[in-house]
Amino acid sequence: MKVSAVFMDYDGTIAPLDVERERSAVAGPLFSLLGEISSRIPVAVITSKDVGFVRPRTGFAWAWAGVLGLELRLRDGSGRTTAVPKGLSEALPKVKALLPTGVEVEEKRGTDGTLLGASIDWRKMREAPRRELESAERLFAGEGLPVHDHPERMFLDVYAAPMDKGSAFRSLAEMLGAGRPIMYLGDMSEDNDAFDAADIPICVKNDDKAGSLRCRYSVSFREVEGIFARLLADGLEFAGELGGAVS
Q: At what angle do helices 130-142 and 87-98 cross, to 10 degrees?
A: 160
pLDDT grade, residue 44 (50/70/90)? very high
CATH number of the domain at 5-81+163-245, out of 3.40.50.2300, 3.30.460.30, 3.40.50.1000, 3.40.630.40?
3.40.50.1000
Q: Is the peptide bond prior to 181 cis by the omega test (within 30 degrees of 0)?
A: yes
Kindly state the average pLDDT of the residues 161-177: 97
- pLDDT at residue 66 in the model: 98
Instruction: Find out whether 49 and 64 touch, Cβ atoms under 8 Å.
Output: no
CA 185, CA 73: separation in Å to the nearest integer? Answer: 19
Helical residues (DSSP H) of 79-186, grouped into ranges: 87-98, 130-142, 165-176
Instruction: Write down the mean pLDDT value for the chain.
Output: 93
Residue 212 pLDDT class (50, 70, 90 cuts): confident
| Mean pLDDT of all residues in 147-154 | 84
Q: Read off the pLDDT of each residue in 66-79 and give the average, rounded to a whole number.
A: 97
| The 182-186 sheet, strands edge to edge | 79-81, 71-74, 63-66, 43-46, 5-8, 182-186, 200-205, 217-220, 244-245
Q: How many helices (H) and strands (E) does the chain have?
A: 7, 13
For residues 242 and 45, the model is more confident at 45
3-state secondary structure at position 200:
strand
Where are the strands (E) in the chain, listed by range?
A: 5-8, 43-46, 63-66, 71-74, 79-81, 104-109, 115-121, 147-150, 155-159, 182-186, 200-205, 217-220, 244-245
pLDDT of residue 245: 43
pLDDT at 242: 61
pLDDT value at 247 more than 70: no
Confidence of residue 153 (pLDDT cuts 50, 70, 90): confident
Q: What is the pTM of this model?
A: 0.93
Alpha-carbon distance 167 to 149, whole Å? 20
Pairing between β-strand 5-8 and β-strand 43-46 as defined by DSSP bridges: parallel
Which candidate, 51, 43, 88, places its Cα nearest to that of 68?
51
What's the confidence (pLDDT) of residue 209?
61
pLDDT confidence band for 232 (50 / 70 / 90)? very high
Nearest C-alpha neighbor of 34 from the set 121, 42, 195, 244: 42
| Amino acid occupying residue 110 | G
| Side chain identity at residue 7, one-letter code | F
pLDDT of 184 strictly over 60: yes
Long-range Cβ pairs for the range 242-246 (8 Å, 24+): 242/200, 242/202, 242/217, 243/202, 243/217, 243/218, 243/219, 244/217, 244/218, 245/216, 245/217, 245/218, 246/203, 246/213, 246/215, 246/216, 246/217, 246/218
Q: What percent of the chain has pLDDT over 90?
A: 84
Q: Is the pLDDT of residue 244 over 70?
A: no
In this predicted model, what pLDDT tens digit does every residue of 100-129 receive, in sequence order? 999 999 999 999 999 999 999 998 888 888
Range 28-37 average pLDDT: 98
Answer yes or no: is pLDDT of 182 > 90: yes
**Residue ranges per domain, the chain?**
5-81+163-245, 87-159
- Tell me the C-alpha distance between 216 and 195, whole Å: 8
**Residue 246's pLDDT band (cuts 50, 70, 90):** very low
